[in-house]
Amino acid sequence: MEARNVKTFFFIIDEEMVKNDPQKTWKKIKSELKNSKINYKIIKVHNLKQISRVIQQFVDTLGMHALTDAVVISCGRNIFFLEVLSNLLNAAKVKIPVAFIPFEDKNIFAKKIGVSLDPLIALQQIFNTIRPTYYNLVEMDEATHTVKKVFLDEVIIGFNAYLSSLLQNSRMLIFLQEHHSYYAARFCGLVAAFVNREHFAATLRINHKYYFFKNTCSVSIKNITPESEFKTASQLQTSEQLLNISVISSLNPFTSFLLWLFRKFKAETKLPFVHTFKQKQFHLMINSLEFGQIDNRELTNKFYDVFFRIVNYPFWFDVDSVSLTQKKQKG
């Protein structure tokens, strides 16, 4: 495989994933790289805590001119890519095109934009690229401006995050799921969540207007930009990019069933305890410790005083340079 550009590709390697990968994915990728004629360098990261230092060192060492000809490729877990991307946004003054090679079978973002879950085909989609395409990410900026994170798909806070945490961490619920009793596990998780979770107060500030919710059960912020919204830099200037904000209040077993039923018909917004907004940016405040998840990654319980906004970022993929059959292949 040969690249059609003069870019230098920097492969950021998730060493924790590589060591525990039975498929030997990185070994296969290295073999392809050796047979290619591209310019590339390999940067190994031994754990997630090192990413910030490694990315900062990478940016400082390369300099502005070299950064404009760089493409950063994350090789490893989904969480690893999110950390690489967040730190690039914080460290670099220019938007360096990024790509990723999935090492995991489940990757919602890859499926959403058409990146193959077969690592070698994903590598081909990267090498076939001539110019970047842009995708809407969501930036989370703490009010203290000390921490900035990005997410690709969804952030959930409250009840649903707690339920997900139970399903991932409870030994009993894990046992049920491993023995093909997912629905029994979910039912037990729901019972535990209704018994143990308390409502909380949440405040939204949108366009200088405040919305107060005293009995909040769950908050979700979703990046709703579909695949068809993939745009070039010039098209982004005139496109409408929105976040979907959903606040659910006063949830109990009966209203939970109603919500499930109405969602089947995509009519949940008609329910009086479901409050939805579509905005480019907003400010969320929660003054109690709540469970949270970012792109299916569990967060530590925390208070929230966060600004959310759309960020356009260049990705180095030509997803249509391979066949539909190849896109659907798994490594």
Q: Give per-residue pLDDT as tens, 56-87.
A: 999 988 877 788 889 999 999 888 999 999 99
Look up the domain containing 107 and give its range. 8-132+316-327
Do 13 and 44 fall within a single domain? yes
pLDDT at 41: 93
Do 121 and 180 fall within a single domain? no
Do 97 and 240 fall within a single domain? no
Do 37 and 120 fall within a single domain? yes
pLDDT at 202: 96
pLDDT tens digit string along 101-145? Answer: 988 877 778 888 888 888 999 999 999 999 998 888 899 988 876
Do 147 and 171 fall within a single domain? yes
Do 169 and 278 fall within a single domain? yes
pLDDT at 220: 96
pLDDT grade, residue 2 (50/70/90)? very low
Nearest-angstrom CA–CA distance, 211 and 199: 16
CATH of the domain at 117: 3.40.50.10330
Residue 30: inside a domain? yes
| In the chain, alpha helices (H) | 15-19, 25-35, 51-67, 78-91, 108-113, 119-127, 159-169, 171-178, 182-196, 233-236, 253-264, 324-327
Provide the residue type at 149 as one letter: K
What tokens appear for 236 in the block? Answer: 């982004």
* Residue 216 pLDDT exceeds 80: yes
pLDDT at 297: 84
Residue 3: inside a domain? no
* Residue 329 pLDDT exceeds 80: no
Do 57 and 188 fall within a single domain? no
Do 36 and 98 fall within a single domain? yes
Do 83 and 152 fall within a single domain? no
pLDDT grade, residue 258 (50/70/90)? very high
* Residue 264 pLDDT exceeds 60: yes
Residue 2: inside a domain? no
Span 44-51, average pLDDT: 91
Residue 137: inside a domain? no
How far is residue 109 CA from its own chain's centroid? 7
Q: Identify which has the larger pLDDT, 241 or 279.
A: 279
Span 171-177, average pLDDT: 90
Do 180 and 276 fall within a single domain? yes
Do 62 and 171 fall within a single domain? no
Q: Identify which has the larger pLDDT, 209 or 250.
A: 209
Average confidence score pLDDT of the chain = 87
pLDDT at 290: 94
Span 297-324, average pLDDT: 88
Span 141-150, average pLDDT: 78
pLDDT at 241: 75
Q: Identify which has the larger pLDDT, 107 or 234.
A: 107
Residue 1: inside a domain? no
Do 55 and 154 fall within a single domain? no
What is the per-residue burial (b if ≥16 Cβ within 10 Å, else e) of 136-150? bbbbbbeeeeeebbb
* Domains held by the chain: number: 2
CATH of the domain at 155: 2.60.200.40
